[in-house]
Structure 1
Amino acid sequence: MPGKMLNEVTATRYITPLREGGSLPGLVEADDLGTYVMKFTGAGQGRKTLVAEVVCGELARRLGLRVPGLVTIGLDPVIGLGEPDEEVQELLKSSGGLNLGMDFLSRAIGFDALAHRVSPEEAGKIVWFDALVNNVDRSWRNPNLLVWQGDLWLIDHGATMIWHHNWPGAPASAARPYDASDHALAPFGPDIASAAAQLAPLITGELLAEVTAEIPEVWLTDEPGFDSADALRRAYAEPLLARAATIHERIEIGEVGAK
């Protein structure tokens, strides 16, 4: 399929666990001298979380939204032998092989709606994107937004595209509306119509083929109901393509967005 695969690096040092997230990501150094937030195949929902991160991260980037760069990280669990936390030890042991890394945005701070202003245009694009991928994890309680060098960056897309946990029900699930009443950016009057006019035409079969081609094949093997990795890639693309055209008509913000 078309598209450039994610760069692959090798973890050389496990620095520390990051306990803000439920899946216990870790901060690691790699052989390219980069520092990454690493998400593990052995955590929580396993490889499906990593697939969601790749699809959403690479799609967001192509739509002009800011997301940390992604790489795949080869992990030899031996690098964590000195880690005293047994939970971390078990996570490393169960995650040998290919995992996912995100560029570590040093000195980034968490988004605070009281301290940072967001334009209706930018808020609209992010809310529209979250509606497209059905992101249920960008609420005011847990924004999953960082402010880095004065700009807003999107992180943590593992809880998106809930339909990939039940493929037979994917068409019905993907057809549902999106409730943005609790969205972290709802108070900024997101301009959904403008966002849809700009972004929806960009969501094409070709673009989604390019994005899904970035998913490592090892994360797509042995999925019940699919005879090949490419068939599963197409299954990821189809709900997004169908959803893009009309999801702006089914975003529910309610009174929160009118403040």
Structure 2
Amino acid sequence: MLKEVTATRYITPLREGGSLPGLVEADDFGTYVMKFTGAGQGRKTLVAEVVCGELARRLGFRMPRLVTVDLDPVLGLGEPDQQVQELLRSSGGTNLGMDFLSGALGFDPLAFPVSPEEAGRIVWFDALVGNVDRSWRNPNLLLLRGDLWLIDHGATMIWQHNWPTAETSAARPYDASGHALATFAPDLAGAAERLAPQVTAELLAEVTAEIPDAWLADEPGFETPDDLRRAYARPLLARAAVIAERITGIEEGK
């Protein structure tokens, strides 16, 4: 399971994107980028972060470590920004933290070359999880000591927002024409050959087990959190076998 920590100090909001994550210190002396249950799409965004982030890590991608962060809303009382104060008050309990990568820079596709192999792996993974938020405008990639790190997977698995149509939605092609790495001739065939066999039912069961029960409770149509965990795994397992053939809008590397 994800490590559990408790927030001890709210440092500052990070105003990139619409979910208003914040930088916090925790009782393990770590510094984390914290995402809140009270923001945006709420707990489903955090579920997507866990499923995709932990799956990426197990497939060999660089991902900041994820933890669950227990938040006492009292930490927001001294925050002068009314929007941030309301966010903290509405997010008591279990939230998500991501290791703060000190010194990391935002990836600029015009300034940093990426090999076709690495580009192919990332594009294939984003197609698998249906990531609509890794564009050249907003790459959601960090560069640390010459290595690419994947961040921000809240805008993935859109089928979770309408479970009755999940299987149909998950079968849709992936348009990669606006992807941040589209111009690097991604080797999609090579990526599929290496990564698709690794996406097994066992691996997905391990990944979905990381989702806190609190984020899965009371979902209409599901009796238990484990029922919902299996619903998250099924589209990913089916998609892994065929998604390489359904990526459009990109010229593949040779």
- Scaled by the length of structure 2, the TM-score of the pair is 0.98
2:192 to 196, 207, 217: 196
* Matching residue of 1:150: 146
* Matching residue of 1:122: 118
Find runs of 4+ consecutive structure 1 residues off by over 4 angstroms: none
CA distance in 1, matches of 2:107, 2:174: 22
- Pairwise CA RMSD of aligned residues? 0.9
* Matching residue of 2:248: 252
CA distance in 1, matches of 2:61, 2:6: 27
Q: How does 1:209-228 map to 2 (within 5 A)?
A: 209-228=205-224
Q: Per-residue displacement from partner, 1:107-142 (whole Å, max 9, x unpaired)?
A: 111000111110000000000000000000000011
CA distance in 2, matches of 1:44, 1:57: 19
How far residue 211 of structure 1 moved from its aligned partner, in angstroms, is 0.1
Q: Per-residue displacement from partner, 1:46-104 (whole Å, max 9, x unpaired)?
A: 00000000000000000000111000000001112111000000000000000000000
* Matching residue of 1:110: 106
Q: How does 1:93-104 map to 2 (within 5 A)?
A: 93-104=89-100
How far residue 253 of structure 1 moved from its aligned partner, in angstroms, is 2.5
1:81 to 63, 77, 89: 77
1:138 to 131, 134, 137: 134
- Secondary structure of the 2:48 match is helix
1:59 to 48, 55, 61: 55
* Matching residue of 2:34: 38
* Matching residue of 1:70: 66
- Secondary structure of the 1:146 match is strand
Check the 8 A contact 2:119/2:186 in 1, yes or no.
Answer: yes
How far residue 19 of structure 1 moved from its aligned partner, in angstroms, is 0.2
1:160 to 128, 139, 156: 156
The answer to whether structure 1 residue 175 and structure 2 residue 171 are counterparts is: yes
- Scaled by the length of structure 1, the TM-score of the pair is 0.96
CA distance in 2, matches of 1:72, 1:254: 37
2:230 to 207, 227, 234: 234
CA distance in 2, matches of 1:116, 1:131: 22
Give ranges in structure 2 of 5+ residues lacking alignment: none
Task: Report the residue type matching 1:37 in the other structure.
Answer: V
* Matching residue of 1:185: 181
Figure out how many residues of one structure are paired with residues of the other and give that number.
Answer: 253
Give ranges in structure 1 of 5+ residues lacking alignment: none
CA distance in 2, matches of 1:109, 1:254: 26
- Secondary structure of the 1:234 match is helix
- Secondary structure of the 1:38 match is strand
- Secondary structure of the 1:22 match is coil
Task: Report the residue type matching 1:193 in the other structure.
Answer: A
Task: Report the residue type matching 2:71 in the other structure.
Answer: L
Identity level (%): 80
Task: Report the residue type matching 1:183 in the other structure.
Answer: H
- Secondary structure of the 1:107 match is coil
How far residue 20 of structure 1 moved from its aligned partner, in angstroms, is 0.8
CA distance in 1, matches of 2:4, 2:165: 33
How far residue 254 of structure 1 moved from its aligned partner, in angstroms, is 3.7
